[in-house]
Structure 1
Amino acid sequence: MPAIVGVVQVISLGTSAVFNIGDVYKVTPYSTTKTYSGAGSFNTGDNISLYNGNSTTNTYDSDVTDQPILFNI
């Protein structure tokens, strides 16, 4: 169903970003990445209190492929 879209301001887009306004059938990624981070690393906001104690990040991954993008065209 079509929609009426007002003013849109785009500040920036990443190198593999997708920006869509309106009807779309399929949006698929053309790149993937894996990010490792410790406890509380991606918290944002005001007045955040973190009590993590001893924290470790497990980076072992026995999978060969996490998200295949071979046929995303």
Structure 2
Amino acid sequence: MPAIVGIVQVNSIGSSGIFHIGDVYRVSPLSNVKTFSGAGSFNTGERILVYNHLSRTNTFDRDFKDQANLLNA
């Protein structure tokens, strides 16, 4: 069913984001990411106390190539 949309203001869209208005058959963003982070890296809040006295992040990756994002449409 067609949509009737009024005024739309888009301030920003991320690099792997999708913005669409109206009918759509398939929405499939394609992106890959490999993230290395230490203990307590993704904590968010007002009063967070994190004590990581001995923390190491192993970034060694044995395989030379990860799974491709090919044909994932």
TM-score range, shorter chain: 0.5 to 0.7
CA distance in 2, matches of 1:20, 1:40: 35
Q: Percent identity?
A: 48
Describe the shift of the 1:11–1:59 C-alpha distance in structure 2 as closer, same or farther (beyond 3 A). Answer: same
Contact 2:17–2:29 (CA<8 Å) still a contact in 1? Answer: no
* 2:62 aligned partner, one-letter code: S
Contact 1:38–1:55 (CA<8 Å) still a contact in 2? Answer: yes
Tell me the C-alpha RMSD between the 2 structures: 3.2
TM-score normalized with structure 1 length: 0.62
Counterpart in the other structure of 2:57: 57
Describe the shift of the 1:17–1:56 C-alpha distance in structure 2 as closer, same or farther (beyond 3 A). Answer: same
Shift of 1:54: 0.9
TM-score normalized with structure 2 length: 0.62
Unaligned runs of 5+ residues in structure 2 are 1-7
- Structure (1 or 2) with the larger CA radius of gyration: 2
Unaligned runs of 5+ residues in structure 1 are 1-7
CA distance in 2, matches of 1:14, 1:56: 30
Give the 4+ runs in structure 1 shifted more than 6 A.
Answer: none
Contact 2:40–2:50 (CA<8 Å) still a contact in 1? Answer: yes
Describe the shift of the 1:71–1:57 C-alpha distance in structure 2 as closer, same or farther (beyond 3 A). Answer: same
* 1:18 aligned partner, one-letter code: I
